[in-house]
Amino acid sequence: MQDELKKLKETLEQTTFKDFDFDEEKRKKVHETYKRKQRKPTLFGKVNPTFSMIACFMILLGMAFYTLKQGPGPSENEPSTSKPVEISESTDSRKFAIEANVTKDKLISRMENPLAFFDSVQGSFTYHIGSYHHDITEKKHYQIQTGKHSASYIKSIQEDEVSIEKISDQHDFQELFLAGGVNPSIAPKNYALWLKTIEDDWEIAGYEEMQGLNVVRIEGKMSRHSATSFKAWVHTGTGILIKLEEYASNGDVVDYIKTHSISFNQKDLTSLRSNDPMSAIPEEFNEYPASFKKHIKILKSVPYKIIEARVSINTDKMTFFQHYKGENGSRNDIQLRIQPDRFEEWKASTGVKENNGNLLDGTEAVFIRIGKQKLAVRWEDKGYYYEVSSLLSKEELLEVIDSMGKLKL
């Protein structure tokens, strides 16, 4: 018992009574107060001194237990690290990583796979490359859903070309998505890998708020084409690249990414409602000239489940491109091209063999065997030229072509 009381005394002196100075004057006051209370009657008569001492001991024991349970508080020079710094997001952030003071390694890890930190995301951004031989500016609108019913819808607008890309497959979604059309911002894996290679040339410069999200700003030096330095703003919760600026030596911005809008975990993703690949046709098609639209036909039936569909329309060249990918690798991959000019001839050195034949409806066509497996079928209809190519057999490809019909929106 004596040992336990000694340990308790030491604990109280180090915690509860750490800053308490019990001098001679205070000792006398406590002694006088105790004597007065001994003389004063109570409702139950006189209090037993032994009981009073036991009560005091129990109170002190309770205080010591509470102090030990809470643990020692932070010192004046060291902030508490018992909890990560909470991030206040203006959107639903149930899956976001929550610590604010991210390290380089954590930041790169999140940028490599942002899909792990949200259920869905939608928004738009502009991507500009000016450090190459010519400028490219592309605006992208996207809706992305992860989880059991993974899917993405991405519309890209670049000068006179509009394209739609849809991915819908829960098994291969992550691989397809990371290689898809929004990787500069929403899936910046390649940028993260590049940051790894120049880790000594950049630093975390601060924290800001952008598009209602908490972002970390990184700054560094680079040597790529005409860019010599850069700044990037990365969402701390997911690793999404919200903004990027790469500068020439004179300070001009040569490459950039600029997010116009972004929101997470919305329930109504209208562009993902239908799994029908035909819904991948951009609504801008309605605004194109009737002389162009009347020639457009689309593939309506393929002998496999479509997991990725892409459609591109170029209003300057008046061309139409449709591409379907299915399960089981490259065999289930088919492309349709429509244009007002004749297609270029295949080079003989690639092992090309051409034969004349007919489609199932009797239309004359040219069958081109490229290598041992790929087959392309070309034909003309009312001044426009069509090509369908795939690794499907000739019989399967003719059935696919026979399913073609006019596009109705």
CATH fold group of domain 276-409 = Phosphorylase Kinase; domain 1 (3.30.200)
State how far the Cα of 60 lies from the Cα of 68, in Å rounded to an integer: 12
User: Residue 266 carries which DSSP code?
Assistant: -
Q: What is the pLDDT of residue 71?
A: 42
Residue 69, token pair as written in the block: 């349970």
Per-residue pLDDT, 181: 56
What tokens appear for 66 in the block?
């509470």
What residues does CATH 2.50.20 cover in the chain?
85-159+169-270
What distance in Å separates the CA atoms of residue 140 and residue 258, rounded to the nearest whole number?
10
Q: How many CB atoms neighbour CB 139 within 10 A?
A: 15
Phi, psi of 205, rounded to the nearest 5 degrees: -100, -20
The answer to whether the Cα torsion of 257, 261, 267, 271 is positive or negative is negative
Q: What is the mean pLDDT of each run of 10 residues along the chain (409 residues)?
A: 50 49 52 48 42 49 44 34 33 54 89 86 89 78 80 83 77 57 80 93 94 93 90 94 95 94 80 53 74 85 80 86 76 87 74 90 93 90 93 92 79
pLDDT at 336: 93
Q: 52: Cβ–Cβ under 8 A, 6 or more apart, which residues?
A: none
The structure tokens 């500069």 sit at 184
pLDDT of residue 179: 55
Question: For residue 203, which of 223, 217, 216, 219 has the smallest C-alpha distance?
Answer: 219
Residues 251, 127 contacting (CB under 8 angstroms) = no
Identify the CATH number of the domain defined by range 85-159+169-270. 2.50.20
The residues, any chain, with a CB within 8 Å of residue 117's CB and separated by 6 or more, are 95, 96, 97, 110, 237, 238, 239
Residue 307: per-residue pLDDT? 77
Candidates 264, 226, 244, 229; CA nearest to 183 is 244
Radius of gyration of the chain (CA): 35
CA distance 229 to 221: 4
Q: Residue 10: what pLDDT?
A: 56
> What does the alpha-carbon distance between residue 390 and residue 3 come to, in Å, rounded to a whole number?
86
Position 77, amino acid: N
Give kind and range of the element (H or E) at residue 377. Answer: strand 374-381
- Please tell me the predicted confidence (pLDDT) of residue 21: 53
Element (H, E) at 173: helix 173-178
Residue 248 confidence (pLDDT)? 93
Residues with Cβ < 8 Å from 175, sequence gap 6 or more?
none
Nearest to 299 by CA among 156, 227, 399: 399
Angstrom distance (rounded) from CA 237 to CA 89: 9
pLDDT at 352: 82
Q: Where along the chain do the CATH 3.30.200.100 domains lie?
A: 276-409
Report d(CA 201, CA 229) in Å as an integer: 10
